[in-house]
Amino acid sequence: MNVSTDQRPGGTTVIKAVVSEADYAPEVEKALREYRRKANIPGFRPGMVPMGVINNTVKEPSLNRPTAKPTTPCSNTSKITR
């Protein structure tokens, strides 16, 4: 994750964050594995749904949703000053 700040006149600051797939991929895989254990999809025993089915039904829609928690520890390390 690449975070940069740009001080602007008038006391404003622009914060830019570039997040690569490598930054969030482990969290996505962990969430998909957890969902796979709990999924109850017709035609499969509970917990025995193939990852391909999970990826097709869950992965793409969930990647378009904003995350509720920060995925990297550096998001809280920088102090914002006035």
In a domain, 38, yes or no: yes
- Rounded percentage of the chain residues whose pLDDT exceeds 70: 71
Is residue 17 over pLDDT 60?
A: yes
Number of domains in the chain: 1
Is residue 68 over pLDDT 80?
A: no
Band (24; pLDDT cuts 50, 70, 90): confident
In a domain, 28, yes or no: yes
In a domain, 52, yes or no: yes
- Is pLDDT larger for residue 68 or for residue 34? 34
In a domain, 12, yes or no: no
Domain encompassing residue 52: 20-66
In a domain, 42, yes or no: yes
In a domain, 13, yes or no: no
Torsion, CA 47, CA 48, CA 51, CA 53, rounded to 10: -100
pLDDT for res 2: 82
In a domain, 14, yes or no: no
In a domain, 76, yes or no: no
CA distances from 33 to 15, 39, 47, 61 (A): 33, 10, 10, 16
Is residue 10 over pLDDT 60?
A: yes
